[in-house]
Amino acid sequence: MDYDVKDIKLAEQGKLSVEWAYKSMPVLTLIRKRFAKEKPLKGLRLGACLHVTTETASLMETLKAGGAEVRLCASNPLSTQDYVAAYLVKYHDIPVYAIKGEDTETYYRHIASVLDMKPHMTMDDGADLVSMIHSKRKDLIKGILGGTEETTTGVIRLRAMAKSGVLRFPIIAVNDAQTKYMFDNRYGTGQSTLDGIIRATNRLVAGSVFVICGYGWCSRGLAMRAHGLGANVVVTEIDPLKALEAVMDGYRVMPIAEAAEIGDFFCTLTGNIDVIRREHFVRMKDGAIVSNSGHFNVELDLEGLKGVTRKTRMLREFVEEFTLRSGRRVYVLGEGRLINLAAAEGHPSSVMDMSFANQALSAEYLAKNVKSLKKQVYAVPQDIDREIARLKLAAMGVRIDALTPEQDKYLHSWEMGT
């Protein structure tokens, strides 16, 4: 079997780590058991480009249990857990192409290796499979039923493709399921981003000025958790509604040019390019720590930073020191790549349980409904979303009320009095 991982001998460590992750993934476990009986993906080749983590291993096992033939590559050069890659190869015969720290050329070669399987279905986190298919591997399009997309940035790219009429197969936007973004983006990113920043720097967050660029679901989670650790949170935004929400959530809101002068920590989570630019880096305090937790490292203008830098050195793993011409030092974490996956282990399994339950059920939905789907970006069907919430609550031992018949009638009629 063809594969490319760092060291197959790491498989034992991967096995234990995946066992640990499974303990917090009850919903995906239920789906895996059903898939093993019903085989809803039988005969389908599924190419996946995801962060290669213990949670992703659980998803790959689920898809394989459902009858799919799967291949996996990384959706970010720094997010692979090498022991997980080895585990999937050794214990599940799943061809994995992913090595933590791979260079750009290897990263794209690995995507190409997944596409060489001629997938019927794609599963992306950031739309790299879909964009390579639409640019360099158009020959594959006729065999593809559809795909799924995990993250906000990927959904933005895919909606742009659909809008300009170039998208050639249907996509289910897993990111937009409520059981995904309300939990993974908010609580997952909130916790794992701080985890990454703290593991990389071992700095105290309490009493610091923590600048968060963007105020979408991921940023809200980070702001909440940074505030909880005692930081003085500053938010920058371009959207007046989100900015207003940040103000009313109790944070200071100001332009990045002003925030640049007062921040101790900076973190971008916008999905856009050049959010922190050269003119901001030069205004930062000596010792400012800069990271990104948005999907791509383009949020930081690192070329601009290099242009005003006298020298660089690696101070500790994931911490690069840039000494500017002014003599001030700026520290960039994890090459500006997703800090929660570069320096920590990504979102905890408990939230990935719901995200990946959405992935597995969306793949099943695609397989069953392919004839009725157009070349568009679709939401995850509401009944799937609600079922995942119901199963998660049940697994957590949380019970909720049901409407009384009178309440139900009241909600569905307009004639009843107030």
Give the count of beta carbons closer than 10 Å to the beta carbon of residue 338: 29
Contact between 346 and ligand ADE (CB under 6 A)?
yes
Q: At 243, list the tokens.
A: 């900015």
Told to check if 350 binds ligand ADE by CB under 6 A, we report no
- Contact set for ligand ADE, span 356-395 (CB under 6 A): none
Q: Among the candidate windows 220-228, 229-237, 241-249, 345-353, which touches ligand ADE by CB under 6 A?
A: 345-353
- The residue (of 167 and 197) whose beta carbon lies closer to ligand ADE is 197
Least distance (Å) from ligand ADE to the CB of residue 24? 11
Strand ranges, E, within 130-268:
146-149, 171-173, 209-213, 232-236, 252-253, 265-268
Question: What is the nearest approach in angstroms of ligand ADE to the Cβ of residue 346?
Answer: 3
Q: In what order do the strands lie in the sheet with 288-292?
A: 252-253, 232-236, 209-213, 265-268, 288-292, 329-333, 319-324, 309-316
Least CB distance from residue 32 to ligand ADE, whole Å?
A: 16
| Choice between 260 and 351, CB closer to ligand ADE | 351
With respect to ligand ADE, which residue has the nearer C-beta, 50 or 205? Answer: 50
Structure tokens at 40: 């809803």
- Choose between 221 and 346: whose C-beta lies nearer to ligand ADE: 346
- The least CB distance from residue 154 to ligand ADE, in Å, is 12
* Number of CB atoms found within 10 A of residue 411's CB: 9
- Which of residues 127 and 209 has its CB atom nearest to ligand ADE in the complex? 127
CA-based nearest residue to 269, from 370, 179, 185: 185
Number of residues lying near ligand ADE (CB under 6 A): 8
**Whole-number Cα distances in Å, 209 to 258, 261, 305, 347:** 13, 10, 21, 24
Contact residue for ligand ADE among 27, 288, 352, 363 (CB under 6 A): 352
Give residue number: closest CB to ligand ADE: 346
Residues 6+ positions from 393 with CB-CB distance below 8 Å: 399, 400
Instruction: Scan residues 41-60 and list those touching ligand ADE (CB under 6 A).
Output: 50-51, 53, 55-56
Q: Which is nearer to ligand ADE, 32 or 347 (CB)?
A: 347
Q: Which is nearer to ligand ADE, 329 or 347 (CB)?
A: 347
The continuous run of DSSP H or E covering 389 comes out as helix 382-396
Q: Does 347 bind ligand ADE (CB under 6 A)?
A: yes
Rounded CA gap, 18 and 16, in Å? 5
Query: Can you give the binding site for ligand ADE, defined by CB under 6 A?
Result: 50-51, 53, 55-56, 346-347, 352
